[in-house]
Structure 1
């Protein structure tokens, strides 16, 4: 986990997830066994017992990813889209061409830590940043009212107020600062707050509880999603939420996005960067990344997304449209 505190000097790469390169991680086995036996290559024999199992290889890969994630900040600095393209320039050309097309619409992006909480963290940071940039007092007041209304719903849903009240206060305090006349709440302060272990993780926890409560309140709507997500889906919506929504570090997907955007009435656009399609030749126009808008039913027709996120397999970062 990040320890929070001062923001490091701009220009240092604090957030680059070296494991997220579009390819599979490679795990090297040791040269010999711990028992002193000669390596299989030297004896001409293959020892099945010395080979790691698939489960052991996967566990090691996950450990490597977790260790690398710990080295990055919860939320990084803005970077040009060219920095994202550079990650794949010698690898996945589908990604390179799609990023090239995205450069016409997006000027920069911001990395989030790949710890399983990247969607919720990127979502709330981008939203608070939009309030900071626009000084939209009406939206600040609307959001405050919506969040406060969730206190009674969470209690009704079985969550103890003691569990979430500090997190709710922390989130609303960020918004309150933005509504003060001549506020001195700056980007740097927002970044410091969202890099702080306590503030950042409590806010993510609150969003997870709200998402869980929304899914359970609308069980009839969400249960078909759950049935389609797993070969052996949890027997109940409540069990699904306990396993896949409420715990920190559980990755988010379509269902989580629908639930939290509806619960907080915040429209979001997710740009999906994957390997689908075939790269075009040198004179081709390139591939388009798929975009999906999650617009709550309560929003007026034609409402534009307030938050833009970039999805790469297993990870979300923040995108910044050109012209704001």
Structure 2
């Protein structure tokens, strides 16, 4: 299962190696890598400050060179959270991949193009403090003419039951074998009316 993107591009070279291998490049002051980090941070600032309008944000997210940086960033966050809470994740990782926490991060979390699994989403939800809903279609009932939509919610560690019941997950992903897509809620007509009033 991939979180949207599959490769990391350095110029015209496709790299599929652990992100930790980029540390040496960063420490050496690689101008290409530093420029890419600067570009990512500018993108992040624009989002956080609300400098980009919706259309600009959509266009940038459709640009693979931009979306790859976002995926790379979240892979860093995920690997960092797993390593920080290694004692918690170790039994799951050992049972899943028969490797150490560090090996798992280097081979299954950091490389672009590696599939993401339950551990990855749980970790990312915890690290960001954001609830994530994964929706998937169950075709086991197709013989009877129906398709069932199921979901699983990933709730961050430390969320109280009251908070969990009061709020719906902030991010919704559609799982398709080998891939996740972001689902956006359809705005209600009241929201659209209010937006139109603000524009006019």
Q: TM class by shorter-chain length?
A: 0.5 to 0.7
Matched, 1:118 2:118: no
Unaligned ranges ≥5, structure 2: 7-21, 27-32, 189-200
- How do 1:1-324 residues align onto structure 2 when only pairs under 5 Å count? 116-118=2-4, 162=26, 165-166=37-38, 169-178=41-50, 185-230=52-97, 233-234=98-99, 236-275=100-139, 277-281=140-144, 286-299=146-159, 300-302=163-165, 303-323=167-187
- Pairs aligned (count): 162
Greater CA drift, 305-314 or 196-205: 196-205
Shift of 1:238: 0.5
Matching residue of 1:62: none
Gap change, CA 1:167 and 1:305, over 3 Å in 2? farther
Gap change, CA 1:202 and 1:320, over 3 Å in 2? closer
Gap change, CA 1:254 and 1:119, over 3 Å in 2? farther
Q: Which runs of 4+ in 1 moved over 4 A?
A: 158-161
Per-residue deviation, residues 67-117 of structure 1 (Å, max 9, x unmatched)? xxxxxxxxxxxxxxxxxxxxxxxxxxxxxxxxxxxxxxxxxxxxxxx9x44
- TM-score, structure 2 as length reference: 0.68
Q: Which has the higher helix share?
A: 2
Unaligned ranges ≥5, structure 1: 1-113, 121-157
- TM-score, structure 1 as length reference: 0.44
Q: Which has the higher strand share?
A: 2
